Structure 1
């Protein structure tokens, strides 16, 4: 996966290419990575007006990666710096934010969704296959399940412990 993450410290991760997609894989040893600006928010996507007039949403990750990076790979890089998102059952909903070619505004379109601890249909979608263009942004809505292990608990029990049966 060889993507570097630059967000107050930085980290690196390794793995193979995109199996079974029929795309050209990038030689990550010889190809210079691109800077991917990723904006995250909990339970919702950022609004388009937050990207207007040179502004961006406040929570940003800068990830150095390649065009063959998959949504699952990006999810794992986000989890490296966002400990709450490591819970099993956490959903990552990806959208690309890009400038409109005719008007001075931004547009959004869905890329896919991944889930921590589960394999999904969108896991192997790469930036290249999603027609990502260098300079576009990625917006991620992170939905963390309730409870300590991704379930149970609920709003009626803030400490998420069950009562004893005796």
Structure 2
């Protein structure tokens, strides 16, 4: 993806063998990669894959699925390397000019994760903020009213 090299992109390998590409900027799954029904992702808990950032593609090993009777006869499996092109998916990710001035690409993973989590929390707080301020104002008004009531009782 241009020169941003997988910025805002995460490959997610699920235990059931699904492989999906997520946009970390929006937390949306952009694409689910699947091997043909005759093959399964090689050991989903330790997948064999590589990402070619120059050609924008994913190379993923898939093992031929065997029937139960075939498994008893031979434990050898045939593997195939599947190539998935990322180029059609480029539009789902921020362009280089849309990126913040301080490139996240130069930060350690720990700091990138902290920034991502902070931004996500801020966006959630932004949704809750109007409700929070309304409750806070209502509470303050009730306290002022109670304070005025107490002052009125003291004067009598």
TM-score interval, smaller chain: under 0.3
TM-score relative to the length of structure 2: 0.23
TM-score relative to the length of structure 1: 0.22
Higher strand share: 1
Larger Rg: 2
Greater relative contact order (Cα 8 A, min sep 6): structure 1 or 2? 1
Higher helix share: 2
